[in-house]
Chains A and B, each alone.
Chain A
């Protein structure tokens, strides 16, 4: 069973469109992270959200952590071909699971010029 459900699994859009990726769980996490992975490389951290309801912006990317700290979303405005990649959400365990990192299966985003 996957602790974090990420949707959609694949997303293919035209340059300039907006999109949202969702990351949902029934578990509470101490924080949630979003990574981006290019082919042949390791994931690279984009952002960490810690507080329930927190919103962080990174240029055209907006990240939100749910009030109950169980879910998160990534919204991209006016997508560009350079945004193409695999986006991964990861929940950080707490209490007895501190140190554990639980990844969603990822969203493969392709932005066409």
Chain B
């Protein structure tokens, strides 16, 4: 089944403890992206990647890192999480490099205390 998977789905952590949220797609898509969704603010793009080894900043990249070492995986790294990074995170991928017609993962709900 064609899909985007994220792990973990739920995570509660403490301020400053490094964490990684994994994202994997099995559709051989060129483009991958991370978003956070917050009440009243909607979905905001964190980082995106148009190809392997190519990553670019979105609207809210501060406090996050990403890497794209292989086509199928695009992990999101929080080196020192803070409470303002408590949010619902979505990974997405699309066939073309422009980001049109994205397939979204199921989401990761992160709470930083």
Contact = CB atoms under 8 A, between A and B. Distances in A.
Interface of A: 2, 30-31, 33, 35, 40-45, 48, 88, 90, 92-93, 98-106
A103 B100 contact: no
14 contacts: A2-B42, A30-B98, A41-B106, A43-B90, A44-B104, A88-B43, A92-B99, A98-B50, A99-B31, A99-B97, A101-B48, A102-B45, A104-B42, A105-B41
Nearest first, the 5 closest Cβ-Cβ pairs linking A and B are A42-B104, A105-B42, A103-B43, A43-B104, A99-B99
Nearest to A104: B42
A56 B31 CA distance: 25
Given A92-B100, A105-B40, A100 B45 contact: yes
Interface residues of B, number: 28
Interface string B74-113: 0000000000000000101000011111111111000000
